[in-house]
Amino acid sequence: MLAVTATSFDDSDPLAGLTVGEVPDPVVPDGWVRVDVRAAALNHHDLWSLRGVGLSPEQLPMVLGCDAAGVTEDGQEVVVHAVVGDPAYGDETLDPGRTLLSERHPGTLAEHVAVPRRNLVPKPASLTWAEAACLPTAWLTAYRMLFTKSGLRPGGRVLVQGAGGGVSTALVMLARAAGYVVYVTSRDAAKRERAVEIGAHAAFESGARLPERVDAVMETVGAATWDHSLKSLEPGGTLVVAGATSGSEPSADLRRVFFRQLTVAGSTMGSRAELDALVRLLDATGVRPLVDSTRPLAEARGAFERVRSGDSFGKVVLIP
């Protein structure tokens, strides 16, 4: 089958280890199923894998990709949940031994992928293949941040740090659909404008003073925005952190945290139950993932280059 694999690591030039070519069909263990992939979305996780994060040289070549939607051998149309964890935890994202597709098991950037049967969520007819493929990582991460971790209620005020990426785009659209007042920051004027177009009530230069403090901040940028995130919160507010693209060691500013009684909540990915709820939410509301572009699987390198450039707004999707 045709697949996109990591064949070597290079921190300075991750695409040097990207290979598009034929690989053996996936092995399907007991309790797993084969899914014929109809669409697969890219994530920054794929670029980190090419830098050697989460993989060892002994695991190469590894098929990349966490996100997919496709068809099972018995004809079911499904969205693939990317977290492979022990369901005994109730929430598999809390399993300390959990992994993602493309870490210990071949990923989704291929014509076929093998996944645990329990990781399948029905795809409604209302979602296109490309839209459905956007959900398992970025949109699921946003869903958990907003609806499981933040404590927000309809009418609450939320700040999304950084505009344009898959998670931040999902955060804006889901937050607006849920009835929150939504503020966004970005260094890029065009991305600020686009954020308002997709639902933000207002967008500001990174670090700018907001017109009011917010009840929760959605943080995926890290060190570059951390101080601003803390200062933007109402007393008793919650900072939900699910990423640190600009660095993971900011000043904690503990005096501000305890004096204002702030909550810092870590969040990562989401459970299979949350993915099912997310899919049903989109089916019911008509909210749809923003797809930046689609390309054939064979043209994966160009898709990776677009994600790496930071110019995309929404998700980049590959079609086998």
CATH number at residue 238: 3.40.50.720
- Tell me, yes or no, whether 103 and 191 share the same domain: no
d(CA 128, CA 289): 10
Take residue 247 and report the two structure tokens written for it: 């660095």
Q: 217 in a domain, yes or no?
A: yes
Domain final position from 251, 266, 281: 266
- Predicted pLDDT at 133: 98
Give me the domain span that covers residue 120. 2-134+289-319
- Predicted pLDDT at 314: 84
d(CA 82, CA 20): 21
Q: 280 in a domain, yes or no?
A: no
What total of structural domains would you count in the chain? Answer: 2
d(CA 292, CA 174): 17
SS3 for 234?
strand
- Tell me, yes or no, whether 110 and 31 share the same domain: yes
Full-model pTM: 0.95
* H or E segment to which residue 115 belongs: strand 112-116
Q: 84 in a domain, yes or no?
A: yes
Q: Give exposure, 6-26, as e/b (b: 16+ Cβ within 10 Å).
A: beebeeeebeebbbbeebeeb
* CATH number, residue 38: 3.90.180.10
Q: 235 in a domain, yes or no?
A: yes
By CB atoms closer than 10 A (0-12, 13-18, 19+), residue 174 is buried
Q: 7 in a domain, yes or no?
A: yes
- Predicted pLDDT at 311: 84
The stretches in the chain having pLDDT less than 50 are none
Residue 84: Cβ within 10 Å count: 20
Q: 274 in a domain, yes or no?
A: no
Categorise residue 152: left if φ over 0, alpha if ψ from -120 to 50, beta otherwise.
beta
Q: At 296, which amino acid appears? A: P
Q: 283 in a domain, yes or no?
A: no
The string of pLDDT tens digits covering residues 191-205 is 999 999 999 999 999
The string of pLDDT tens digits covering residues 220-263 is 988 888 999 999 999 999 999 998 878 888 888 899 999 999 99
Q: From 68, 78, 3, select the one nearest 39 (Cα to Cα).
A: 68
Q: 284 in a domain, yes or no?
A: no
